[in-house]
Amino acid sequence: MAQKTKQDDNVTYHSFDVLIVGAGGAGMRAAIEAGSKASVGVISKLFPTRSHTGAAQGGMAAALANVEEDSWEWHTFDTVKGGDYLVDQDAAEILAKESVQAVIDLENMGLPFNRTPDGKIDQRRFGGHTRDHGKAPVRRSCYAADRTGHMILQTLYQTCVKLGIDFYNEFYVLDLVMNDGKPAGVVAYELATGDIHVFAAKSIVFATGGFGKIYKTTSNAHTLTGDGVAIIYRKGLPLEDMEFYQFHPTGLAGLGILLSEAARGEGGILRNASGERFMERYAPTIKDLAPRDMVARAMANEVREGRGAGPNKDYVYLDLTHLEPAVIDAKLPDITEFARTYLGVEPYTEPVPVFPTAHYAMGGIPTNIKAEVLSDNDTVVPGLYAAGECACVSVHGANRLGTNSLLDINVFRQACWSVLS
């Protein structure tokens, strides 16, 4: 079970049962599953708690029904419909059914979710999540203020430390080593020293995140350059659904820095230059809480047709001024601070300029519902797995619903180890 290390010709060699490339939410959650049963090494080009999962603000969807009636069937329907019916429906059912246990697992690890007055995990509305198959919005998002991703990342890292998981921080993976069509290990560059390391493993999990930096304006960090996806592609393996890239409606205008959908979940309203609540024209039933692709297209259309705000009429407004300051401070502290810091806007009294920003890759490394990587003819590549944003199990179809990403990394990461065990 113990990993072995040896030095030879200025190259350091390591050996593990399971090797995970990427230390964000998906990578660390997979490490936790495997850590009690095998030797696990996790390679990350960042310190784990700096991974981009920490930027996720709004919440994690689960039909707990703590605040109002809900069911996994409704969650499945919303996921399939929100993905423009291009979703793998078996995967969507698994995502929705396992959501409750995924939240409870995190709670048991110590994640400090917001609470209702009677002590249950609190839930709020999010775009595209409805009751009775689309009849009205539902409170499904479990959250920790507007820092849910940050809390998940910290909780997972602390759990990994408790389990004694081996981390190789600030190591940049250069290549995947294949042997007779099977993964044998990876080659990595140690940023601090320039040394080369070779990691051998029986099974390898790619959890390297998204690739938003292919766009000029994005909510993604500078590190999200698609390294893992590119390595897989260079090995002659296919990628899937790469044309499906989500633009989040509410990026700070001109910057792309994300303002979570939680702002609209708490009652924020999108308005054009004349102050009109324009989403009433595009989605009369759920208005500002429509799925992200609908809202982003509506915002772009308002600008295109001359109803944009600002000197260049190139953005719209997110209006929070009708909300109580105490609600804003309790539930949206980071969001409002971003507006103050980067745009000099006071959300208590002024609407915030926003415009869609490149946010999430629905496509990536093709996998089945067990997180096994698939080759051109849909056959499994033995011993190779992918999870999180770099993977494409097609559970998000052409458009991911908000709060389903933090759920995704906590559901399909477990499938990796269920196969290995």
Q: Give the model's pLDDT for residue 260.
A: 80
Q: What is the pLDDT along the chain (421 residues), one digit of tens a residue?
A: 556 677 777 899 999 999 999 999 999 999 999 988 899 999 999 999 999 999 888 899 999 999 999 999 999 999 999 999 999 999 999 999 999 999 999 999 999 999 999 999 999 998 889 999 999 999 999 999 888 999 999 999 999 999 999 999 999 999 999 999 899 999 999 999 999 999 999 999 999 999 999 998 899 999 999 999 999 999 999 999 999 999 999 999 989 988 888 888 889 999 999 999 999 999 999 899 898 889 999 999 999 999 999 999 999 999 999 999 988 888 888 888 889 999 999 999 999 999 999 999 999 999 999 999 999 888 999 999 999 999 999 999 999 998 999 999 999 865 555 545 5
The question of whether 340 is a catalytic residue gets the answer no
Distance CA 211, CA 127 (A): 23
Q: Collapse the DSSP code of 256 into the 3-class scheme (helix H, G, I; strand E, B; otherwise coil) and give the result.
A: coil
Quote the pLDDT of residue 2.
54
CA distance 140 to 72: 10
Give me the catalytic one of 50, 292, 400, 413: 292
Reported residue count of the chain is 421
pLDDT at residue 414, rounded to an integer: 58
The three-state secondary structure class of 341 is: helix
Q: What angle do CA 108, 112, 113 make, to 5 degrees?
A: 95
For every residue of 140-196, DSSP letters joined together read EEE-STT-HHHHHHHHHHHHHHHHT-EEEETEEEEEEEEETTEEEEEEEEETTT--E
| Cα 36 → chain centroid | 25
Count CA within 13 A, CB hemisphere, residue 117: 0
Q: Transcribe 17-79 into DSSP letters.
A: EEEEE--SHHHHHHHHHHHTTS-EEEEESS-GGGSGGGG--S-EE----SSS---HHHHHHHH
The tokens describing 148, both together, are 């849910």
Residue 232: what residue type?
Answer: I
d(CA 27, CA 403) in angstroms, rounded, equals 18
Q: Is residue 246 a contact partner of residue 294, using CB atoms and an 8 Å limit?
A: no
Token pair listed for 297: 């297209």
Per-residue model confidence (pLDDT) at position 57: 82
